[in-house]
């Protein structure tokens, strides 16, 4: 292999599921708050998570309301399965947005927002636009946080902290 191989031909698709696994890990180690603009939010996994093994292709779909007490999820994470679908809620004291993230390629596949209380159609459209822009800002910030952490030495500290958490459950 040449010393300076064409970087555009490298397969870095593993980073997609690593990103979703990173979000789940942040929840478990209680680092699930994020500031978007002037507002603080937190995110929690809900309803459905799909994990897969890159080597065997095995997929596990977990549906529950209590991910923090789900032994099947812990076993899958301990056996190096990566998250390929993550359904989560982005919350603060005023709103609760449901988001679904998938890999291949990593993307937002669903945004569910509260029913609008506005009476005018234009107000409803503006409200929806604000919800979607909040979700995109969250996604952008989380991707940037992941990339910045992933290229630093602190990445290994983060992984070790998550491994320590998994050993404790």
Boundaries of every domain in the chain? 7-168
Can you name the residues that pair with 47 across neighbouring β-strands? 64
In this prediction, residue 74 carries a pLDDT of 84
CB distance 69 to 80 below 8 Å: no
In this prediction, residue 42 carries a pLDDT of 94
Q: Is 2 exposed, middle or buried (0-12, 13-18, 19+ CB in 10 A)?
A: exposed
In the predicted structure, residue 6 carries a pLDDT above the cut 60: no
pTM for the model: 0.85
- Specify the range with the lowest mean pLDDT, choosing from 61-70, 93-102, 144-153: 61-70
Mode of pairing for the β-strands spanning 39-52 and 59-64: antiparallel
pLDDT band at 35; cut points 50, 70, 90:
very high
In this prediction, residue 64 carries a pLDDT of 84
In the predicted structure, residue 1 carries a pLDDT above the cut 50: no
Q: What interhelical angle do 14-28 and 121-150 show, nearest 10? A: 100
**Which residues are CB-contacts of 20 (< 8 A; sequence separation ≥ 6)?**
82, 83, 84, 85, 86, 101, 103, 106
Q: Cα separation of 37 and 27, whole Å?
A: 21
Neighbours of 24 (CB within 10 A): 22
In the predicted structure, residue 62 carries a pLDDT above the cut 70: yes
CB distance 87 to 47 below 8 Å: yes
Q: What is the pLDDT of residues 102-138, one digit of tens each?
A: 998 889 999 999 888 888 999 889 989 999 999 999 9
Q: Determine the average pLDDT of the residues in 142-166.
A: 94
């Amino acid at each position: 292999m040449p010393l300076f191989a064409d970087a555009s031909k490298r397969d870095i698709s593993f980073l997609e599921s690593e990103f979703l696994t990173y979000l789940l890990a942040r929840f478990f180690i209680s680092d699930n708050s994020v500031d978007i603009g002037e507002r603080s939010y937190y995110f929690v996994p809900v309803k459905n998570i799909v994990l897969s093994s890159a080597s065997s292709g095995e997929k596990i779909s977990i549906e529950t309301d209590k991910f923090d007490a789900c032994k099947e999820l812990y076993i899958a994470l301990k056996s190096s399965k990566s998250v390929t679908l993550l359904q989560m809620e982005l919350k603060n004291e005023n709103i609760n947005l449901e988001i679904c993230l998938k890999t291949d390629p990593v993307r937002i596949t669903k945004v569910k927002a509260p029913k609008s209380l506005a009476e005018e159609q234009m107000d409803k459209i503006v409200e929806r636009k604000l919800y979607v822009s909040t979700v995109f800002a969250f996604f952008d910030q989380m991707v940037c946080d992941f990339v910045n952490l992933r290229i630093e030495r602190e990445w290994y500290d983060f992984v070790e902290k998550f491994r320590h958490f998994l050993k404790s459950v």
